[in-house]
């Protein structure tokens, strides 16, 4: 009876999937940043310009941050008045409201790795 041996090395596949996940996380963070920028209080635009999206591919973690000196206070101060469509909790609300879109973005990038 003939015998055959099959060796399957998934190291390359796992590497591609991780890379796709990192790409998807970065794209998701960029999406959240865009939504957040649309909600962030705006006077001269410094706050919105200070926003960044980043990803740590090794840890598969993404971040969105604003580094204007007043960004944290502006985010947390619920009593301040803002122009229509602008508000406190601009980043937190953008993340919560974009959860499904971010999942879809990450999933799409991972699916592409299998094509």
Residue 1 has pLDDT above 90, yes or no: no
Indicate the pLDDT class of residue 21, thresholds 50, 70 and 90. Answer: very high
Q: Residue 102, by phi and psi: left (phi above 0), alpha (psi -120 to 50) or beta?
A: alpha
> Which 3 state secondary structure label does DSSP give 86?
coil
Kindly report the backbone phi and psi dihedral angles of residue 87, in degrees, each rounded to the nearest multiple of 5, phi listed first.
-165, 170
The number of helix segments (H) and strand segments (E) in the chain equals 5, 2
Residue 8 has pLDDT above 80, yes or no: no
pLDDT score, position 47: 97
> Where is pLDDT greater, at 43 or 63?
63
> Any idea where the domains of the chain sit in the sequence?
11-113
Q: What is the pTM of this model?
A: 0.88
Residues 6+ away with beta carbon under 8 Å from 28: 62, 98, 101, 102, 103, 105, 106
Closest CA to 28 of 58, 2, 63, 59: 63
Q: CA Rg, the chain, in Å?
A: 20
Query: 76-114: per-residue pLDDT in tens?
Result: 999 999 999 999 999 999 999 999 999 999 999 999 998
Query: 50-74: per-residue pLDDT in tens?
Result: 999 999 999 999 999 999 999 999 9
Lowest mean pLDDT among 8-17, 25-34, 35-44, 83-92: 8-17
pLDDT score, position 63: 98
Dist CA 81 CA 84 (whole Å): 9
């Amino acid at each position: 009876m003939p015998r055959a041996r099959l060796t399957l090395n998934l190291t390359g596949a796992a590497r591609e999937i991780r890379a796709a996940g990192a790409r998807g996380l970065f794209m998701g963070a960029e999406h959240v940043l865009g939504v957040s920028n649309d909600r962030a209080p705006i006077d001269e635009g410094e706050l919105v310009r200070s926003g960044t999206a980043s990803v740590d591919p090794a840890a598969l973690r993404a971040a969105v941050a604003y580094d204007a000196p007043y960004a944290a206070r502006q985010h947390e101060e619920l009593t301040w008045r803002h122009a229509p469509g602008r508000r406190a909790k601009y980043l937190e609300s953008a993340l919560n409201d974009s959860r499904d879109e971010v999942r879809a973005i990450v999933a799409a990038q991972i699916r592409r790795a299998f094509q």
